[in-house]
Chain A
Amino acid sequence: MRPFAFHHADSASQAFRLGSGTGQGQVDASVQFLAGGTTLIDLMKLDVLRPQRVVNIDALKGSLQRIELSAEGLYLGALTTMAAAADHGEILDSYPVIAQSLKLAASAQLRNMATLGGNVLQKTRCTYYRDPSWSACNKRSPGSGCAAIHGFNRNHAVLGIDDTCISQYPGDFGVALMALDAQVDLIGSRDSRRIPFARLHRPLEGQPHIENILRPGELISGFFVPAGPWARRSLYVKVRDRESYEFALVAAAVAVDLDGETVRQARIGLGGMAYRPWRAEAAEQMLMGKPLNEASAAAAATVALEGARTHGYNDYKPELARRTLARALLGAKALTLAGQVS
């Protein structure tokens, strides 16, 4: 690990000031905020992230750690740990896809450390990105190429990619946030703003080294998940190489509002498949007003994977994703909700 200066930020304003040199999402950012540290310290040890200054924001926990449920929706403070949200009974009841996406991620130790704000900014697990001995990586060194395109790309992305990068967004919680139309609160020295979570991660557009729209010094302060009528009938299906403590090959976050068998509204997020947290809006539209059954679920899944581009070792992924998504949709339909006659 390269040397760095360590700072404790005692307040948000101090964090903004100390972090004003951040180019978050960029590998050459000279300042990095430290929360749970599970991605940052790991990637600093691997010499992928090389900050000259690390700003500890642990002291902001007092204001950024709350979980609140109201009639309008669910608020999750950015410094809430993954474990706290995963084990929260009311979240599991009212927003099951949120709790499940967190419980099925990482390990008990990592969930105790990692915060929700850091979780959505988690870096890709692309082995070529994580190992600087591979010189070609446009995410690490813009313009150097992509070693994964002709490399061992079994778990690389097939959606939202281009010829500069096929790395996969590895997170689960972010996929659930996409499905539930969540918003993200950002705080900075100039102002605070609330934006759709779908806008936090930038589309690739040939610039894999700039991952999100955070301004220098800006911090995620929390997430707001609106209480849609689909939120309770939601679930997260994650398919992976081993049963626990593993990243997704494919994951589907689905939420549906049904009138009998007929879909009033559907919300679909895909994990493990795309360059950034992915929402399958065309598939959602297709299901609206139709009965939810094997045929319609399969048809929606086909639409969700349109445009998928594979690179050899990951040729299996679109079909696995179609089947996973169809299973998730039918699983959501089969849920018996408390207080509701099935």
Chain B
Amino acid sequence: MTQMTRREALTAGIAMATVGLEPLRADAAPAPKSDPSAVRVRLEVNGELRELSLDPRVTVLDALRDHLHLTGSKKGCDQGQCGACTVLIEGQRVLSCLTLAVAAQGKPIETIEGLSRADGALHPMQQAFIDQDAFQCGYCTPGQIMSAVACVTEGHAHSDGDIREYMSGNLCRCAAYPKIVAAIKQAKLEMERA
């Protein structure tokens, strides 16, 4: 049997569950082909233009995860309190869970998936998080890394105190904070050299 990654197994599981539910729908009216309330949304994600048909309620986070299958950005609180969903929009770190996809059109979006180079080489911040062991469970890490990249480019990573203040929007329940500060300091030097 070929090895499956956890993500592939979960995706396959969802597909099987959907098939399993099909008979329950037999008596119901056929589902309309497209939701009448759906709107056409064009998003520029990691340099690629993607066109979607979305309910206006869909956030950038849900568009990324559920419609574009970019599951790197994480859903923590879904209320703008934890920072796990942090992405860059127009180069600024923002919370994708509080941003409507329909309102993000025409603005370049950068996610954790777009951070490494095309040849697979990691961004200095990604490498620094590995080198400094700056995560435990890893769930907050994509948001931490996107926020950390912005923290450095904004010029807000001058001191440990600065880093802690300007990273306070990213919560880590494993409390890897000291190592996150160390990782940002390491990456800052490399980002400045580059």
Are B164 and A112 in touch, CB under 8 angstroms? no
Of all chain B residues, which has the CB nearest A81?
Answer: B92
Return the chain B residue nearest A1 by Cβ: B57
- Judge whether A320 is part of the interface by a CB distance below 8 angstroms: no
B165 A38 Cβ-Cβ under 8 A: no
B103–A56 contact, CB under 8 A? yes
B57 touches A42 (CB 8 A): no
Known: A6-B39, A38-B80, A45-B79. Contact between A108 and B100, CB under 8 A? no
Contacting residues, chain B, for A6 (C-beta < 8 A): 39, 56, 100, 102-103
A109 touches B147 (CB 8 A): yes
Within 8 A of A (CB), among B10-51: 37, 39
Q: Do B147 and A41 touch (CB < 8 A)? A: no
Given contacts A45-B79, A113-B94, contact A4 B169 (CB under 8 A): no
Contacts of B95 in A (CB 8 A): 38, 109-110, 113
Interface string of A219-246 (1 = CB under 8 A from B): 0000000000000000000000001110
Query: Residue B98 contacts which of A42, A54, A83 (CB distance < 8 angstroms)?
Result: A42
How far apart are B59's CB and chain A's nearest CB, in angstroms? 7
**B98 and A108 within 8 A (CB):** no
A residues 17-47 with Cβ under 8 Å of B? Answer: 34, 37-38, 41-42, 45-46
How far is it, in angstroms, between the C-alpha of A107 and the C-alpha of B167 when the chains are bound?
8
A41 lies within 8 A of B100 (CB): yes
**In this assembly, does B156 line the interface, its C-beta being within 8 Å of a C-beta of chain A?**
yes
Task: Please indicate the chain A residues that have their CB under 8 angstroms from the CB of B93 in the complex.
Answer: 108-109, 112
Q: Are A58 and B164 in contact (CB under 8 A)?
A: no
Q: What per-residue 1/0 map shows which CB atoms of B89-133 lie under 8 Å from chain A?
A: 000111100111011000000000000000000000000000000
A144 to B151, CA, bound (A): 45
Instruction: Determine if B99 and A41 form an interchain contact, defined as CB atoms under 8 angstroms apart.
Output: yes
Q: Which residues of A contact B154 (CB under 8 A)?
A: 108
**Contacting residues, chain B, for A107 (C-beta < 8 A):** 83, 168-170
Is B150 located at the chain interface by the 8 A CB criterion?
yes
- B86 at interface, CB cutoff 8 A: yes
User: Is the beta-carbon distance between B169 and A110 smaller than 8 angstroms?
Assistant: yes
CB closest chain-B residue, reference A242: B168
Q: Which of A4, A6, A34, A83 has its CB near the most chain B CB atoms (within 10 A)?
A: A6
What mask results when residues 104 to 128 of chain A are scored 1 for a CB within 8 Å of chain B, else 0? Answer: 0011111011000000000000000
Tell me which residues across on chain A come within 8 A of B166, comparing CB atoms.
Answer: 108
How long is the Cα–Cα vector from A245 to B80 in the complex, in angstroms? 12
B79 to A245, Cβ gap below 8 A?
no
Are A37 and B165 in touch, CB under 8 angstroms?
A: no
Instruction: Check if A4 sits within 8 Å of B56, measured CB to CB.
Output: yes
Residues 143-170 of chain B: 1 if any A CB is under 8 Å from the residue's CB, otherwise 0?
Answer: 0000100110010100000001111111
User: Which residue of the partner chain A has the closest CB to B88?
Assistant: A112
- In angstroms, how far is the closest chain B Cβ from the Cβ of A106? 8
Q: How far is the CA of A266 from the CA of B154 in the complex (A)?
A: 35
Q: Assuming the A-B contacts A108-B150, A110-B95, A110-B169, are A42 and B80 also in contact, with contact meaning beta carbons closer than 8 angstroms in the complex?
A: yes
A45 touches B83 (CB 8 A): no
Q: Is the CB of A113 within 8 A of B99?
A: yes
Question: Is A37 in contact with B56, judged by CB distance below 8 angstroms?
Answer: no
A42 touches which of B79, B83, B156, B165 (Cβ 8 Å): B79
Residues of A within 8 A of B167 (CB): 108
Cβ–Cβ < 8 Å partners of A54 in chain B: 56, 100
Complex interface: chain A residues within 8 A of B94 (CB): 109, 112-113
With contact pairs A37-B98, A107-B168 given, residues A112 and B92 touching in the complex (Cβ less than 8 Å): yes
* A245 proximity list for chain B (CB < 8 A): 168-169
Chain B residues lying within 8 Å of A34, measured Cβ to Cβ, are 100, 103
A3: Cβ under 8 A from any B Cβ:
yes
A109 touches B86 (CB 8 A): yes
Tell me whether A341 is interfacial, beta carbon within 8 Å. no
Task: Decide if B59 touches A41 in the complex (CB within 8 Å).
Answer: yes
Q: Are B80 and A110 closer than 8 Å at their CB atoms?
A: yes
Q: Which residue of B lies closest to A58 (CB)?
A: B103
**Distance (Å) between the CB of A41 and the closest chain B CB?**
5
- Choose among A4, A5, A108, A245 the residue with the greatest number of B CB atoms under 10 Å from its CB: A108
Query: What CA separation (Å) do A42 and B83 show in the bound complex?
Result: 14
Q: Which residues of B contact A (CB under 8 A)?
A: 37, 39, 55-57, 59, 78-80, 83, 86, 92-95, 98-100, 102-103, 147, 150-151, 154, 156, 164-170
Given A46-B79, A83-B92, output 7 extra A-B contacts at Cβ < 8 Å. Answer: A41-B98, A56-B102, A107-B83, A108-B168, A109-B83, A109-B86, A245-B168
What are 11 A-B residue pairs whose CB atoms fall within 8 Å in the complex? Answer: A3-B56, A34-B103, A38-B98, A41-B59, A41-B100, A54-B100, A56-B103, A107-B168, A108-B154, A109-B93, A113-B98
